[in-house]
Structure 1
Amino acid sequence: MDSLLCDEVWLTTSPTTTILNHDYGGSFYTTKEDSQQAFDICLQKEIGYMPESQYQDHLQSSGLILARFRAMQWLLKSQRRLNLSCQTVFNAANYFDRFLSMNQCKGWKYWMVELLAIACLSVAYKFGETTHLPLHEIQMEDLDHSFQSNLIQRMELTLLKTLGWRLGSVTTYSYIELLMWNFDSLTSFLLGELTTRVTDLLLSNLSGNMNSYNVYSIL
């Protein structure tokens, strides 16, 4: 797709920011048939929630590999700090990758990437969580910049418009519970342990290449 935001003011004018000191270094489905039907639906929908083609090339040519890695690390730290659901974090990462892949213009700066990450987490939180989270709490730690609420809200609206308001993403996490039905011979304890380990593995993979560039169901 053509770049959507290359002419936007927020991409050309650095905001008033505060530099922070930081060193970087029970199942929903009642039967197996229900689960299989949901799995088939996810397979049909997932292509519509993938980043645009040539996304990896865009990250490399724009020097955004490290910036994306740092953004994903921040999402993971925010999940632990704010006690977020895994689905919220996976959705935020999905919004981030889809938006970045749709805006393949040059001149991205790191404050723009941080602003995008904050907006993605804020939108994902509003979509998936049930409590209110002030914007200043989202950006309390592990960021180089602090943004005013009105700028974050503008970025949220830009994000929503770019994604076509399509927030119910199919991600790698969408398949975990569905696939666990294949292990119905396990005890509840072992099934819980397996689910936790698979979830942890997928979370750790958010910062890597696989989550962004491959079909989610393959992972």
Structure 2
Amino acid sequence: MPQQVLKVDSVQLEFDGRKILQDVSLECRQGEIVGLLGRNGCGKSSLLRVIFGTLKPSYKYVSINSDFIQKGYHHNQIAYLPQHSYLPKNIKISKLAGMLVDHGSWPDFTALDIYREHSHKTPAQLSGGELRQLEMLMIIYSRADFILLDEPFTHISPVQADAFKPVIKACAQRKGIIITDHQYQNILDVSDRMIIITNGCTKPVTDKADLVTYGYLSGI
């Protein structure tokens, strides 16, 4: 099967007359992780929601292999991990996983310690960190070819974050992943390449010096 390519171009978004995104373009191929950086309020989460199809901008062009995509969630083409919890609170993890996880990935998913330890519980019985890990894993192991991860390292410990980085990288061998998190070092660790949103526009990032140039970091 040919490698799939997700392209996003010319996204324009404004709230109450204030332009949030005005010259946004990015590309993500199956087999790579693209890190998305930017200061708080720059529009990172909004961009992911535009790609996924739950936020309507003034204009956008989103395509997979040049086929225009209006709603990324249709036909399980794109999966999205929001910042907030998305799982129903009173359904067992095992049942939720059965609905969300790709059947081809099921053996790998159910072998994970976090699943084996908590599959008999409901989300309401889990800590914030345990729930975040399972929600992230269900998205990563879903049927979608492209994965959008919004603050996946939030509410989990540094040790847990380090444990999940190889899992994310392994899944990226067959999926395209766009990931953003305010803990920028985690993004640097997992990404094959990075872009930053600054002044409503996307710019490529080649090293940490670029993050200073674009005002994301004050120094190195």
The normalised TM-score by structure 2 is 0.26
Structure ID, larger Rg: 1
Q: Higher strand share goes to which structure?
A: 2
